[in-house]
Amino acid sequence: MQYPISRLAFGLAVVSSLAFSSGAAAQDARLFRSERHDFQVVTVVSGLEHPWGMAFLPGGDILVTERPGRLRLISGGVLDPEPIAGTPEVWANGQGGLLDVALHPEFEENQLIYLSYAKPGPSGATTAVARGKLEGKRLTGLEEVFEAQAWGRRGQHFGSRLVFDGKGYLFISLGDRGEMHEAQNLSNHKGTIIRIHDDGRIPEDNPFVGVEGALPEIWAYGIRNAQGLALHPMTGELWETEHGPRGGDEINLILPGRNYGWPVITYGINYNGEPISDLTEKEGMEQPLHYWVPSIATSGLAIYDAAAFPGWRGDAFVGGLAGTQLARVTFDGHRSVSEETLLKELRQRIRDVRVGPDGFIYLLVDAKDAPVLRIEPVAN
């Protein structure tokens, strides 16, 4: 494939910018060995408060959300001390706050940034998505494009990852808000994957458009709390990682109109040790591509397809919060064939996982004083 000169220049600028930040942090590098690659982990920056999501800007700068409500900029390997202004008010309680960040597919033309967050209101909070234009160090023209019918006063299970599919559609993952049986109720958005146009309009070909008693934004349902969402770079499929309770964390292939079973089927049990269901499968409900017992508390998801680590192409990298790890899961098509636990020695809660434009793997750590980490190949 041939790219315009401007895109080639953009790629060179990204590699140059990220390489600069690599050199700046090289003294923090730590060597690790894995089944297919030796690698080092470099601290890009530190001093973030419960970072949740990240997105790469043209030129290599990185936007990072902090759950208390701040959007931060990492430029040239340095964390800007001043947050980006103009972000929405958030409900920063429990698992709620400022959550994911994504760039519009035509960001270089329109400068639009999308944020998901716990939105406060008289009924507690729900998950919402807003977009604004990034002008310097400020978001302008902020407008809400989606508000979930998932209000509640509980502080858990907001989701929420944002993924554009390359066709102009935005996918949003939503948790069940701690009301497990609502994940089977199509009259609200709890425990669902949402699909909308970039401006919030509902696509006419969504599976529940025109279905009585169902909300038309819903793409898939029966989901507990999805905090990882990614397009498979080789197939274009939408994959998801989902928190189970005690056991039953999952990787799922998300398909339109499908029911992913929560809480009717699960490989997990309740936190008090009591069963949730005696079923792990049922006709009409999807099986996970991979699951964990016990739980690692799955969060961010990235599927690798870059040149820096050729032995990892096609592998899924999943952050583990309670499991304090990065899980590497190898697949043969839709069948998981092996799993390797990485970075257990760091004892860090891995919140988000992204593949950067340089082909390195970037990690967010969930902590009050947290770093951004980067996995790089070891030079021979």
pLDDT value of position 202 = 98
Q: Please, are residues 303 and 239 in contact by the beta-carbon 8 Å criterion?
A: yes
Q: DSSP label at 76?
A: T
Q: Please, are residues 225 and 243 in contact by the beta-carbon 8 Å criterion?
A: yes
H/E stretch holding 315: none
- Domain total in the chain: 1
**Distance (Å) of CA 225 to CA 150, 243, 341:** 13, 5, 22
Nearest to 44 by CA among 84, 12, 17: 17
162 Cβ contact partners less than 8 Å away, ≥ 6 residues apart: 53, 100, 101, 102, 114, 116, 129, 170, 171, 172, 229
Q: What CATH number does the domain containing 182 carry?
A: 2.120.10.30
85 Cβ contact partners less than 8 Å away, ≥ 6 residues apart: 137, 138, 139
Q: Which domain holds residue 295?
A: 5-377
Cα–Cα–Cα angle for 354, 257, 189, rounded to 5 degrees:
70
pLDDT value of position 10 = 39
- State the residue for tokens 């519009």: 104
pLDDT value of position 14 = 44
Q: DSSP label at 358?
A: T
**Distance (Å) of CA 285 to CA 12, 86, 157, 280, 344:** 46, 42, 21, 10, 33
Q: How far is it between the farthest Cα atoms of the chain?
A: 61
pLDDT value of position 380 = 60
Can you tell me the distance from the alpha carbon of 136 to that of 153, in angstroms, rounded to the nearest whole number?
A: 36
Q: Name the 3-class secondary structure at 175.
A: coil
pLDDT value of position 29 = 81
The token pair at 276 is 């949730």
Catalytic annotation, pick one of 50, 104, 157, 189: 157
Q: What is the DSSP string of 125-141?
A: EEEEEEEEEEETTEEEE
Q: Please, are residues 226 and 237 in contact by the beta-carbon 8 Å criterion?
A: no
H/E stretch holding 68: none
pLDDT value of position 18 = 52
Nearest to 227 by CA among 142, 176, 160, 286: 160
Can you tell me the distance from the alpha carbon of 357 to that of 354, in angstroms, rounded to the nearest whole number?
A: 10
Q: Name the 3-class secondary structure at 255.
A: coil
For the chain, which ranges sit under pLDDT 50? 1-17, 19-27
pLDDT value of position 20 = 40
Can you tell me the distance from the alpha carbon of 201 to that of 120, in angstroms, rounded to the nearest whole number?
A: 23
Confirm whether 50 is a catalytic residue: no
The token pair at 299 is 């969060």
